[in-house]
């Protein structure tokens, strides 16, 4: 039985929610392995829209086990709120269909406050985060002072751990002229939350190892996109975790030999939320505005408008390599339907020379100029197509050129938010 990792191959918002939902029908277990409730997934099932931030996409499907791995940072308040919201839509989340790693790091209100402070309009450290405390929580994790899920099960030892955490955070607050946090208030909040979330706790690494040995199919679901990876992304305008496919192993407690196929999700154009370099950005012209309006490019979590631009084959080719992507799921082809011509970035110019990769340096990333190849548009509808035969010939040429430029085949083609509007070339679970 193949185990599949789904990752974003651009800056996130590529349509992973629909693809994961489409694949989850064949999976037994769906695992989130990094990120937090800053990553939004929108699912449209039988006309009902579900907006998920922290929970794996599999929770909306009956008979599936959803798992939040140790690589995720968990805001217990957001977790409880999201579970309650799903209940109003007829989806019941219980320990029978959701497990959370005992060694997952918790996001506390103090993390969110620090994130908001850093992202203030006059802050020199502003990088365009969602202000939900994700980065500060990961900082505490690697700083070895974090409160973890399992700590809620040992309340007598919790006060000491809170004091250790506040040695760091209260020093920051003093430096900013803010009132210090009180350990008792944090303790009381966590003690109140503990009975509501502890029933979901599990040794996820052991659970998944056992399921794998039973022959269960596991689907690993990433958040954000590979270009936001803390190591391989457009640093420092990145998230605070590894978003490439290898993190599926580390962030779930499974070895790398548990991964059989990596599916990369990418749009037929490019979008980005927040600050940072974006070589093909068209936000300030009619193309960017058209893509944003037709594609409804607003963040699932924040509602922020996304910057839109032409497809960047250089970037996707790079993420194909850094994530070991075996096949692509190309989404939103229909957004390009009315264009008379379409541009694709095939290389960059930097300081007077041509290069075929995105450099790692911040200055160089901001300075690269895209080299475009122009293709004829198809001026025919591709929306809701479910077979190659239903696609205009020029649209097929566009997809084939994308494959050639990025060095990776398209395994799935999505032609609308509805899960049924999907053209399958290669089933990742049958690799």
How do residues 15-72 score in pLDDT, each as one tens digit?
887 888 889 889 999 999 999 987 677 777 777 888 888 999 888 888 899 999 999 9
Name the maximum alpha-carbon separation found in the chain: 68
The number of C-alpha atoms within 13 Å of 283 and in the hemisphere containing its C-beta is 14
Our answer to whether residue 232 is catalytic in this structure is no
Cβ atoms of 79 and 42 within 8 Å: the answer is no
- CB of 250 closer than 8 Å to CB of 69: no
Pairing of strands 4-8, 261-267: parallel
Determine whether 41 is an active site residue. Answer: yes
The answer, yes or no, to whether residue 233 has pLDDT greater than 80, is yes
Local structure of 278: helix, strand or coil: coil
State yes or no: pLDDT of 1 exceeds 80.
Answer: no
Q: What are the backbone dihedrals phi and psi of residue 362, each rounded to the nearest 5 degrees, phi first?
A: -60, -45
**pLDDT (0 to 100) of residue 165:** 97
**How many CA atoms does the CB half-sphere of 330 hold within 13 Å?**
28
Residue 71, Cα to own-chain centre: how many angstroms?
Answer: 13
Which among 13, 21, 140, 312 is annotated as catalytic? Answer: 13
Which phi and psi (to 5°) does residue 287 adopt?
A: -65, -50
Cβ neighbours, 10 Å, residue 343:
18
Q: Give the pTM.
A: 0.93
Chain center to CA of 146: 23
The residue annotated as part of the active site, out of 21, 37, 41, 421, is: 41
How far is residue 19's CA from residue 88's CA, in Å, rounded to a whole number? 24
Decide: helix, strand or coil at residue 7.
strand
pLDDT digits (tens, 9 = 90+) for 124-178: 556 667 788 999 999 999 999 999 999 999 999 999 999 999 999 999 999 988 9
Q: Please compute the mean of the pLDDT values over residues 376-386 and round it to a whole number.
A: 93
d(CA 368, CA 384): 36
How much of the chain is helix, strand and coil, in % rounded to 5? 35, 20, 40
β-bridge pairing 410-414 and 422-424: antiparallel
List all residues 6 or more positions away from 430 whose beta carbon is below 8 Å from its beta carbon. Answer: 2
Nearest to 21 by CA among 45, 5, 38: 45
Weakest-pLDDT range from 18-32, 97-111, 232-246, 344-358: 18-32
Question: Which residues neighbour 277 within 8 Å (Cβ) at sequence distance 6 or greater?
Answer: 234, 237, 362, 365, 366, 368
The helix (run of H) or strand (run of E) holding residue 184 is: helix 183-197
Residues contacting 426, CB < 8 A, separation 6+? 327, 409, 411, 412
DSSP code at position 302: T
Pairing between β-strand 341-350 and β-strand 353-355 as defined by DSSP bridges: antiparallel
Per-residue model confidence (pLDDT) at position 49: 84
Q: Does the pLDDT of residue 192 top 60, yes or no? A: yes
Q: Give 374's pLDDT tier (boundaries 50, 70, 90).
A: very high
Contact between 358 and 323 under an 8 Å Cβ cutoff? The reply is no
Average pLDDT, the chain: 92
For the stretch 278-332, pLDDT in tens is: 999 998 899 999 999 999 898 666 677 899 999 999 999 999 999 999 999 999 9
Phi, psi (5° rounding) for residue 112?
A: -65, -40
């Amino acid at each position: 039985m193949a185990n599949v990792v789904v990752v974003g191959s651009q800056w996130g918002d590529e349509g992973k929610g629909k693809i994961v939902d489409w694949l989850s029908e064949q999976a037994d277990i769906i695992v989130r392995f990094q990120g937090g409730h800053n990553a939004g997934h929108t699912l449209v099932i039988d006309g009902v829209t579900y907006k998920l931030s922290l929970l794996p996409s599999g929770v909306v499907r009956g008979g599936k086990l959803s798992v939040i791995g140790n690589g995720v940072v968990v805001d217990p308040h957001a977790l409880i709120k999201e579970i309650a919201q799903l209940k109003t839509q007829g989806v019941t989340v219980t320990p029978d269909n959701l497990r959370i790693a005992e060694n997952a790091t918790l996001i506390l209100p103090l993390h969110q406050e620090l994130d908001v402070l850093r992202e203030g309009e006059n802050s020199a450290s502003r990088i365009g985060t969602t202000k939900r405390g994700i980065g500060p929580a990961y900082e505490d994790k690697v700083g070895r002072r974090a409160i973890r899920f399992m700590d809620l099960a040992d309340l007598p030892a919790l006060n000491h751990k809170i004091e250790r955490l506040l040695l760091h955070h209260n020093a920051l607050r003093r430096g900013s002229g803010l009132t210090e946090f009180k350990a008792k208030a944090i303790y009381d909040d966590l003690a109140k939350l503990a009975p509501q979330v502890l029933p979901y706790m599990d040794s996820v690494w052991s659970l998944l190892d056992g399921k794998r040995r039973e022959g269960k199919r596991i689907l690993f679901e990433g958040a954000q996109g590979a270009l936001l990876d803390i190591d391989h992304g457009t640093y420092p305008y990145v998230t605070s975790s590894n978003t490439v496919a290898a993190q599926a192993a580390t962030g779930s407690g499974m070895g790398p030999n548990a991964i059989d196929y990596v599916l990369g999700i990418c749009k037929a154009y490019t979008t980005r939320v927040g600050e940072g370099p974006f070589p093909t950005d068209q936000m300030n012209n009619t193309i960017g505005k058209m893509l944003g309006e037709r594609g409804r490019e607003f963040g699932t979590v924040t509602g922020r408008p996304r910057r839109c631009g032409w497809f960047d084959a250089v970037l996707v080719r790079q993420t194909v390599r850094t994530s070991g992507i075996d096949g692509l799921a190309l989404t939103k082809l229909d957004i390009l339907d009315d264009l008379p011509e379409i541009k694709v970035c095939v290389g960059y110019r930097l300081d007077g020379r041509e290069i075929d990769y995105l450099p790692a340096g911040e200055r160089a990333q901001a300075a690269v100029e895209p080299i475009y190849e122009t293709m004829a548009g198809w001026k025919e509808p591709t929306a809701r197509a479910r077979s190659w035969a239903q696609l205009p010939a020029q649209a097929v040429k566009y997809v084939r050129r994308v494959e050639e430029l990025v060095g990776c085949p398209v395994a799935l083609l999505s032609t609308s938010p509805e899960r049924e509007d999907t053209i399958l070339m290669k089933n990742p679970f049958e690799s």
